[in-house]
Chains A and B, each alone.
Chain A
Amino acid sequence: MKVYRTNVMLCTCTMCVSVGALAIRKRLEEEIKKQNLEDEIQVILTGSSWLCTRGPTLIVQPDDVVYQFLKEEDIPHLVEEHLLKGRPVKSLMYVHPETLYPIEKLHDVPFYRDQRLIALWNRGIIDPDQIDEYIARDGYKALAKVLKDMTPAEVVQEIADAGLRGRGGAGFPTGRKWEFCRSNPNTPKYLICNADEGDPGAFMDRSIIEADPHSLIEGMLIAAYAIGASKGYVYIRIEYPLAIKRLISATAQAREYGLLGEDIFGSGFDFDIEIFRGAGAFVCGEETSLIHSIEGRPAEPAQKPPFPVQRGVFGKPTVINNVETLTNLPRIINFGAEWFAAIGTEKSKGTKVFSLAGNINNAGLVEVPMGITLRRIVYDIGGGIPNGKEFKAVQTGGPSGGVIPKSLLDLPVDYERLQEAGAIMGSGGLIVMDEDSCMVDIAKYFIEFTKDESCGRCTSCREGLAAMHEILTNICEGRGKEGDIELLEELGEATKEASLCGLGKTAPNPVLSAVRHFRNEYVAHIRDKKCPAKVCKALIEYEVDKDKCTGCTLCARNCPSQAITGGKKKPHSIDRTKCIKCGVCIDVCKFDAILVTTGESP
């Protein structure tokens, strides 16, 4: 194996690739060659390692220096200064949001410092396409231990003792689920990894697979051994091409090493994984629907019981676990149940990965111990709200969850506490909203999503959500009536009550929680026909700030409906009758001269 003195860890997750990480890579390699450093410095492509809004990023090891917002033009300078001469380039480093001072060391960045990595143990450290590197980080050691020294029953007990709960949303104790399946005499048994991740606003599972596919494979092997399955599926969304590619390559390597297939580690245990591409239907994340999808049947959920552990894929006992649940397993086996159980709160153990997004400075993947407060996630790790705006709410659990207002920011994050607040843990989407987000609009957005994704089997879900959507649309468009809020609540409760699967049972949550915490905003829409956050198109007006407008004519030239008039160098004005409220003018104006108002001033 060739020796290098420095490794440049370039993040090539989907997001960084989207902002040009591959061009950076090419340039980096060219420059390294130009400086004759190719025998000394190696460029490694890793999965998501860092702050996703700041891509492309790279980390220079062993110096532990991190660079963000890279552009191709920066590379020659960076290579010469840092890689050749050893002088880290301050201008490309992370800047502390308050002190405005560049932070050199990766581990000093607050975003990184407050996290606790269990599921993301290997993030940004290994090359996901190299099984050897995974092995060097204690990889497959847990598997060896399980196969050599433990019976399946002991493995189940260990996981039960650790108190691991499903990370897919409902938080069902994993040990209990496994025991049902293990003790079922019916064979063969199946293990399914749920990587459907339909929650619009969550990307944890994708990032885990992109950064560390072998952790998932090892986790699946351990789970399969515990429940006695010999075949596993990974049900992964087709929208995740990079994750699928990395997973395929990782399973191929594992197979080559005999870690998948027959007689693994000479123990007589057989297991192999098939990758099943889902086709983008949210309801397919629901267990029974997912099973139907794999069987090639229409993916409508079914009545439970029988539960999948009793009758799952092809009528056989099946355990379905989330990606994150499974990637926790190798660490629990290696470090022991006690170690794991010591982290977190009384009923929620371990850590949880959240995908932090929305109006927040450091959007990205964070793994935090259970019980941490939302305030710490939003302000310490997330770095607060950008552009000096005011925090308004966080939405957890995606379309099944709810909004949590500012007054509950000190809520510790665990399954029960979130539920009490009207939200749920969900699979880990955490969307931060600032004062410019309208709570009616957001509720409408989620209902629109679930309405479209409802499989249509239950009348309550199909029609109930459609009716709620119509009411919300009316409210947003200024046609709200007295009594609408009560009607929404009634419909929501009824839909929850009468629907068959988790989708219908949880879909009204975003509305119910928004009504509960932000009733005033609903009233303002209905009674005063005003959208306080200035989002709902029918209730706002665009206007030019005469003091700021320099008369550059940019907006007038870009307005699609010629609503803006005004001569060169003269303040412009917007003709309200022509304006279609498309927002282009705000987007193009360089002087912040376009205002959005609730329509009061003339």
Chain B
Amino acid sequence: MSKLKPEDLAKITEKVKRTMLLREGTGRAKVIVHMGTCGIASGARAIMSALMKEIEERNIKDVILTTSSCAGLCSREPMITVEVQDQPPVKYVDLTPDKAKEIFAKHVLSGEIVKEYALAFGSERVP
């Protein structure tokens, strides 16, 4: 590594920003994959991997991906909840990796809710 110039600080910051946002627990949007036993059985792991890949490929920095327990609707797993900052959370049900990607592209990145997969708007907040 050659010597840093003051401008380089910003570049490095950008590079590690995602990690730091993760630590601080703040992000523009949060995607929660429900990973109860039922969720895992019906393929939540695959959803998680697909989303991880999406974030990595698109080099997204400000979206937090996390897990939560069963949301109580085992029959419609796999499920995710998308929380965009200052907006009510949206739950999506009966997902496949492709559907998850689509939601990610449309809702998380462009802010447009994918109505056909959504269960309900503004359901109770899941921590």
Contact = CB atoms under 8 A, between A and B. Distances in A.
B35 A85 contact: yes
A256 B1 contact: yes
A235 B55 CA distance: 45
Interface stretch (B16-24, B96-104, B106-114, B117-125): B16-24
Contact of A3 (B36, B40, B56): B56
Interface in B28-79: 30, 32-37, 39-40, 45, 48-49, 52, 55-56, 64-69
A297 interface: no
A122 to B, nearest CB: 10
Given A62-B64, A86-B32, A265-B6, A137 B20 contact: yes
Given A85-B67, A135-B9, A265 B23 contact: no
B52 A85 contact: no
A6 interface: yes
A282 interface: no
Given A63-B25, A86-B66, A135-B13, A5 B6 contact: no
The 3 closest A-B pairs by CB, nearest first: A258-B3, A86-B67, A144-B6
Interface in A224-283: 256-259, 263, 265-266
A125 B52 contact: no
Interface residues of B, number: 44
Nearest to B30: A62
A132 B13 CA distance: 7
A214 B65 CA distance: 29
Contacts of B5: 265-266
Contact of B23 (A85, A125, A138, A144): A125
Contact of B1 (A63, A135, A257): A257
A281 to B, nearest CB: 38
B115 interface: no
A136 B4 contact: no
B56 to A, nearest CB: 4
A1 B35 contact: no
B37 A85 contact: yes
Nearest to B33: A86
B34 to A, nearest CB: 7
Given A61-B25, A86-B32, A258-B3, A135 B66 contact: no
A1 B32 contact: no
B9 A86 contact: no
A146 to B, nearest CB: 11
B68 A133 contact: no
A345 interface: no
A87 B1 contact: no
A332 interface: no
Given A1-B15, A61-B25, A62-B64, A40 B20 contact: no
Contacts of A148: 6
A9 B36 CA distance: 24
Nearest to B2: A258
Contacts of B3: 257-258, 263, 266
Given A86-B68, A86-B69, A258-B4, A7 B23 contact: yes
A85 B20 contact: no
Interface string A73-117: 000000000011111000000000000000010000000000000
A62 B67 contact: no
A11 to B, nearest CB: 14
A85 B12 contact: no
22 contacts: A1-B18, A6-B22, A6-B66, A39-B49, A40-B48, A61-B22, A62-B21, A62-B22, A84-B40, A85-B35, A85-B39, A85-B67, A86-B32, A132-B16, A133-B20, A135-B12, A136-B16, A139-B9, A256-B1, A258-B3, A259-B4, A263-B3
A164 B45 CA distance: 52
A67 interface: no
A257 B66 contact: no
A415 interface: no
B22 A85 contact: no
A292 interface: no
A132 B12 contact: yes
B4 A62 contact: no
A125 to B, nearest CB: 5
A40 B52 contact: yes
A133 B16 contact: yes
Contacts of A295: none
A137 B13 CA distance: 8
Contacts of A5: 22, 48, 52, 55, 64-67
A140 interface: yes
Contacts of B68: 86-87
A4 interface: yes
A7 B13 contact: no
Q: Which of B16, B34, B69 has the most CB of A within 10 A?
A: B16
Contacts of A265: 4-6
A358 to B, nearest CB: 31
A40 B66 CA distance: 10
Nearest to A104: B127
A141 interface: yes
Contacts of A87: 68-69
A9 B20 CA distance: 12
Contacts of B32: 86
Contacts of B1: 256-257
A40 B6 CA distance: 33
A3 B12 CA distance: 15
A48 to B, nearest CB: 16
Nearest to B3: A258
Contacts of A86: 32-35, 66-69
Given A84-B67, A144-B6, A4 B19 contact: yes
Contacts of A62: 21-27, 30, 64, 66
A64 interface: yes
- Residue of B22, B33, B69 ringed by the most chain A CB atoms within 10 A: B22
